[in-house]
Chain A
Amino acid sequence: DIVLTQAPLSVSVTPGESASISCRSSKSLLSSKGITSLYWYLQRPGKSPQLLIYQMSNLASGVPDRFSSSGSETDFTLKISKVETEDVGFYYCGHRLEYPYTFGAGTKLELK
């Protein structure tokens, strides 16, 4: 199975500042079709996960452009600029390259 390792496990951010979360894959997530199968989700407290980013760098519908993502075939970074109260929760990376689909363990973002 592909292992996704997230860092840090938690991050504390002052509102208005930026935050970055890393996700490292045990295998290249570049598909034969040239798509990087890496997704980012936010799970707010008591809610379902919400898709933020698909195929490594594409912003999902309705997601503010304060969120961005970049990376290579195995190393990825989610950046949140000007963190707001609504950004609090757990962030997960996930892939859909091959079966079984797997997720990172999650990064908790809280406000200072």
Chain B
Amino acid sequence: QVQLQQSGAELVKPGSSVKISCKASGYTFTSYDMHWIKQQPGNGLEWIGWIYPGNGNTKYNQKFNGKTTLTADKSSSTAYMQLSSLTSEDSAVYFCARGTAYWGQGTLVTVSS
């Protein structure tokens, strides 16, 4: 069955970067887009972008241009999202999702000094 296992919670300092992972199993990793979605505490959902692991193509929500970098490692079936120049506004739960139907459990990123 399709599973997306995300990395654990991160506590990071303002101005730093963080890279979170999403390990896929149960399907052909290179054949489906992997999307990333942000959810701030008590808030709704924001689509960040997607990566197609088959060829590395990406599409970003312009709002997150310069903030996020999506990559994928075909050898380990793992997608990554790097967030840079972190501020308190980046504190959120981040989900990876294959299409609309399969979601990871979420990774909490807390930006605090």
Contacts and interface: CB of A to CB of B under 8 A. Distances in A.
Contact of A48 (B59, B63, B103): B103
A81 B95 CA distance: 29
Nearest to B93: A48
The size class of the interface chain B forms with chain A is: 10 to 19
Interface stretch (A13-21, A28-36, A67-75, A102-110): A102-110
Chain A contact surface mostly: loop
Contacts, number: 42
B100 A100 contact: no
A94 interface: yes
Contacts of A94: 45, 47, 100
A69 to B, nearest CB: 14
Contacts of B95: 48-49
Given A99-B59, A99-B61, A100-B61, A60 B101 contact: yes
Given A99-B59, A100-B62, A100-B63, A49 B101 contact: no
